[in-house]
Amino acid sequence: MRKFFIFFLVFIFSFYSNAQETAIDKLFRSSYRVWELQRNDIGMYRDSKLFNGADYHPCSVANVGIGLISLCIADSMKWDESALGKALLTLKSITGHTAGFNPDRNASGFFRHFINMKTGLREWNSEYSTIDTEILVSGALFAKNYFQNDSISKYVMELWDSVEHEKAIADADNGKIFLTMESNGQGTSTKLTSVYNEYMIVAWMAKNATIDINSPAHILWNKYYSDPDDLPTTEFYGSRVLTDRAGYFLSSFTHQFNYYLCHYFTTSEKYLNYFEQSRKADSDWWKYRTTSQDWEWGCGAGTDPTGYSANKINDNLNQVISPQIIAGYLPVFPESENQLRDMWLSQKGRYVFPNYPSDVLLWRYSLTNSQWQATEIQGIDYSTMLFGLATLPQFLGKSFFAQNNDFFSDQVTKTYMLNIPKKDILRLLSNPVNDILKFEVNDYEGEVLYVEIINIQQQILFSNKIKIQSDLLKEKIQVADLVTGVYFLSLSLNGKVLATKKFIKK
């Protein structure tokens, strides 16, 4: 009898463990299905996928960036053998190299928030968005690092170089970033945001787009984001949470986006401490202010009974649970894995797409309105479910993001023109250009330098020697024979590249 009892306990434990593993494995694979179904035949991703009925949502530029990261995960997990090819098609389309598809962008390269899935034209009267553009670019750079493919790198660098990232900085001294941009490439003066929030990603990209330490991007970053202790916080039950206004809280996706897309955040012990405190504050709000179970929490964004909301601590009227937020905190709170399993087993928050009944998703549900069900799932808002699960040790681990979101380290980012110069010695005097490229060289008096024009395929189209007669030399090159496109002017001394500048030939 005793042996039978021991055997029974072992069987129960084994069954429970397998159920746990199966639930998390299935949830992870099912989560990728969202982006598979949001993608069209030219590699664009819808903002949302309906659970029933014909899809109508336009392309979300930010979700294209998320879609690229999802392809990296799918390739690494061996879910999709064509992931590399799909990423390449997406990058070709978003950079305007797919026939009939020309994404709407402003003069400084920023994209519309929403564009047509087939043409790239503006949809839903949307704005030129700084954050959506930079999430797209982040996803592209992530794919560049992961795939290590020359063709992908070419289109990613074209995308990176085509955006004037610094234009997003509105007022460096006061920490202001433009939310939206005008068609002429300037920021919308009435649409500003203050630190801290997900626009940390915008600040990070702008800071790394220039080496000038006196630039607005560097000033803003160093004054506000370089040390999180300098940022405003709000306390909840002993947890200090980063925010843009003392006394208020941000939706938890804000902290999670910064963790997954901003390498500085990912690898900073201080930021990780604040990340964990934001997790605890979110969980404690549900614990002390609602009747939820221990595994029911998460103030995230997405569809809710009122339409769409970015829920926050003290601002979640319908008490909508966001399971993707639980997953998003897995890097600092491993217990989230058990909580997701418990939610899965409870049958709460379960959704399926009609043609994929075995692919069960965990998505938003309301504690105060048990009859409500979401009609759609937003890719950008659901992303931290896929990202968080990917960081589990049995899958890709936390290092997957720390390695691939390291866009700007010397070992990772190798631009076509080699080393980033330490001094801004080369300045273009005309850009874009028609027939004559004018430029000036500052410093290196008495030296003989080589000047080259290089195309996006890294081919040298022009090469000549110039003797620097004074500290400031002005030169010009005939470029009338160049076809319309993006080129680079490179300056070198004894085989070492001193400076490189991008220019556009009309």
CATH of the domain at 6: 1.50.10.140
How confident is the model over 238-281, as pLDDT tens digits?
999 999 999 999 999 999 999 999 999 999 999 999 999 999 99
Does a structural domain hold residue 419? Answer: no
Higher pLDDT, 14 or 289: 289
Same domain, 219 and 357: no
Co-location of 14 and 45 in the same domain: no
pTM of the model: 0.80
- Same domain assignment for residues 76 and 147: yes
User: Which residue has better confidence, 13 or 139?
Assistant: 139
In terms of domains, do 390 and 460 share one? no
Instruction: Examine the fold and report which residue of 179, 209, 226 is the final residue of a domain before the chain moves on.
Output: 226
- Residue 459 belongs to domain with CATH number: 2.60.40.1930
Per-residue confidence (pLDDT) for residue 415, from 0 to 100: 40
pLDDT band per the 50, 70, 90 thresholds, residue 2: low
Domain assignment of residue 293, yes or no: yes
The lowest-confidence range among 62-66, 209-213, 214-218, 282-286 is: 209-213
Are 377 and 391 in a shared domain? yes
Separation between Cα atoms, residue 87 and residue 29, nearest integer Å: 19
Q: What is the pLDDT of residues 25-45, one digit of tens each?
A: 999 999 999 999 999 999 999
The answer, yes or no, to whether residue 307 has pLDDT greater than 60, is: yes
Residues 219 and 236 occupy one common structural domain = no
Judgement on whether residues 172 and 298 belong to the same structural domain of the protein: no
27 and 173 together in one domain: no
Shared domain check, 116 and 2:
no
Look at residue 420 and tell me if it is in a domain: no
Identify the bridge partners of residue 111 per DSSP, sorted by sequence position. Answer: 105
Q: Are residues 45 and 173 in the same domain?
A: no
- Give strand pairing partners of 487: 455, 503
Q: What's the confidence (pLDDT) of residue 21?
A: 52
Report the chain's mean pLDDT, rounded to a whole number.
Answer: 91
The domain boundary residue, chosen from 123, 143, 163: 163
140 and 97 in a common domain: yes
Among 409, 440, 470, which residue terminates a domain?
A: 409
Write out 286-349 in H/E/C secondary structure. Answer: HHHHCCCCCCCCCCCEEEECCEEEECECCECCCCEECHHHHHHCCCCCCCHHHHHHHHHHHCCC
Domain assignment present for 75: yes
Q: Please report, rounded to a whole number, the percentage of residues in the chain having pLDDT higher than 70.
A: 92
Q: Is residue 314 part of a domain?
A: yes
**Residue 130 resides in a domain:** yes
414 within a domain of the structure (yes/no): no
CA within 13 Å, CB half, 445: 4
Residues in the chain: 506
pLDDT digits (tens, 9 = 90+) for 161-196: 999 999 999 999 999 999 999 999 999 999 999 999
Tell me, yes or no, whether 486 and 378 share the same domain: no
- Structural domain that includes position 179: 166-226
Number of H helices, E strands in the chain: 14, 24
Could you tell me if residue 368 is inside a domain? yes
Structure tokens at 272: 């990780």
Q: Which residue has the higher pLDDT, 455 or 314?
A: 314
At 204, phi and psi to the nearest 5? -65, -45
**With contact defined as beta carbons under 8 Å apart, do 168 and 215 qualify?**
no
The pLDDT tens digits for 328-368 are 999 999 999 999 999 999 999 999 999 999 999 999 999 99
**What is the number of structural domains in the chain?**
4
